[in-house]
Chain A
Amino acid sequence: MVDVSVIIENIDLLWGGLLMTFKLFIVALAGGLPLGIFLGLGRLSSRKWIYYPVSAYVHFIRNVPLLMLIFWIYFSLPILTGGLVEPFYAAVVSFIIFEATYFGEIIRAGYQSVSKGTIQAAYSTGLNYWQMARYILIPIALRRVVPSMITQSIVLFQDTSLAYVIGLHEFVRMASLIDNRVIRPLELYGFVAIVFLVICSIGSQIVKRLETKEGERK
C-alpha cells in the first residue's frame, strides 16, 4: 500500500536535498549565463581567431553526454588541482561548461533573428551603432530569447539530478539514501517526481505566457 508517512517522517532530509538542488541550479545558472553570452558573441564574431576556437568548444561540448562530462571533470579536476575536489564543485563546473553552450546558441539565434532590414531602417534614420543596439537590436533579441532561456533553465534544473552519480546529496540522491533504509521506492520517487513536475510546470507556464505575448506582437 502507498504510505505517505515515510515522506513526512523524512521531510527534513528531503528538504535539505531539494535546497542542494536549488543551490546547484542557481550557481550553475549564475555561471552558465555569462559564459553563454560570451560564447554566443564569440560565435557571432567575424574574427576567425575568436569564431573557430569558440565554435570548436561549443560543438565538442554539445556532442558529449553530460553524464560523461560530470565523471570526467570529477576524476580529472583533482589532477589539475592536486587535491580532492568536492562533488558540489565538480558538478557546478560541469553544468556551467555544458549549459553555457546551450545558452550561447540561444543568444546567437536571438541576435540573428533580428532582421537586417530593421537594423538598416534604424541606421537610415540617423541612429549610431550604440543607439541602434540599445533601442533596436538588444530589445528585440532579448524578447525573442527569453522563452528559450527559461526552457533551457528548466532543462538545467532537471539535469542537476545527474550530480547524483558523483555522490552529491541533492534531491534525488537524498530520496535514494532514504529508500535504502526504508525501502519505499514508490512513495519516495513518486514524491520526487511530483516536486519536479510542479516546479517545471510553473516554468513552462511562464514560457507559454511569454510566447503568446510575443505572438501577439508579431
Chain B
Amino acid sequence: MKEETPIIEIKNLSKWYGDFQVLDDITTTINRGECVVICGPSGSGKSTLLRCINGLEDFQKGDVIVDGVSIKEISHTKEIYKLRSRIGMVFQHFELYPHMTALENVTLAPKKVFKIPEKEAEKRGMELLEKVGLREHAHKKPGELSGGQQQRVGIARALAMNADIIMFDEPTSALDPEMIRDVLEVMVDLAKGGMTMLVVTHEMGFAKAVADKIIFMDEGRIIEQEDVETFFKNPKSDRAKEFIDRILVHI
C-alpha cells in the first residue's frame, strides 16, 4: 500500500481554444509514487492536459496544484521555470535537440538551469544513459540513433533534473514494435522504483503491469478513473467499453 500524499491535484480545470472547449472540468488527484495511465481517443485533450500541468499552456478555469504550488499563480512568473524542472516530460516524437549529442541533450538543463559544473553534469549524464542502456551511444547525435534509442535519450533527459514527476505523452506510439519493448522496460523500471508517473498511452499491457490508476478521457472530460482491473473488467460507460474493445483488438 502506497502512502497517499497528493503531489498533483487538478481542480475543476477547464480550457478553451477560442470557442472550442478542449478541457472540461477536469478533477483528479495523483499521489506521490503513483503511476497513472491516461487513455482516450485522439483529440480528447490528453496532451493539452499534460501541458497545463507544467504550465506550458494557459487555462481559463480551475487550477493545478503541484506539491502545494498553484500553477495559476506562478504561470507568468519566474517560479514556473523552477517548477518545470521538477516535472520531466517525454514526447511522442522524442523532440531531442538535433544539434547536440545524446549526452549534451541530457546535460544541457542541469548545466544551465542548476548551474552544475560540466564534469559533474557529464558524470551524472553518463550514469543516466547507462541506466537506459545507451552508454556507448553517448556521443552520437539524435540523427545517428534509432527511434527507440532516441526515446530512451528523451527519458534520460527527463530524469536528469532529478524530477519528482515524469509525464509521458504517447512515448511509444511513433516506434516500431521491436523498439517499443526497450522503452517500456525502462518505464516499468522507473514505475517500480517509485517514480511518480503520468503516462498517456494505449499500451494496455504496460497499464496492467504497473498502473495504479487509469483515467479515460473523451471530448475534454474524464469519463472514468478506476484502478486498472475495474476499468478493464467493468467499464461503467459505453464509450470506455467501445474504446477498450477497439484497442484490445489492435494489440
Contacts and interface: CB of A to CB of B under 8 A. Distances in A.
Given A131-B112, A143-B99, A124 B81 contact: no
A117 B97 contact: no
Nearest to B97: A136
Contacts of A143: 99
Interface string B162-199: 00000000000000000000000000000000000000
A218 B85 CA distance: 27
A117 B98 contact: no
Interface residues of B, number: 31
B15 interface: no
A16 B94 CA distance: 55
B109 A126 contact: yes
A131 B110 CA distance: 12
Contacts of B141: 217
Contacts of A115: 93, 95
Contacts of A117: 91, 93, 95
Given A123-B56, A125-B85, A125-B161, A140 B95 contact: no
B81 A118 contact: no
Interface residues of A, number: 21
Contacts of B160: 125
A120 B56 contact: yes
Contacts of B99: 139-140, 143, 217
Contacts of A126: 81-82, 84-86, 109, 113, 161
Interface string A95-128: 0000000000000000000010110111111111
Is the contact region of chain A dominated by helix, strand, or loop, or is it mixed? helix
Name, among A115, A117, A126, A128, the residue most crowded by chain B CB atoms within 10 Å (CB to CB). Answer: A126
A12 interface: no
Nearest to B114: A126
A140 B108 CA distance: 15
Given A125-B161, A140-B98, A217-B143, A120 B81 contact: no
B89 interface: yes
Contacts of B112: 127, 131, 135
Given A117-B95, A125-B113, A126-B161, 13 more contacts: A115-B95, A118-B95, A118-B97, A120-B51, A121-B91, A121-B95, A121-B157, A124-B56, A125-B157, A127-B108, A135-B112, A140-B98, A218-B98
Interface of A: 115, 117-118, 120-128, 131, 135-136, 139-140, 143, 216-218
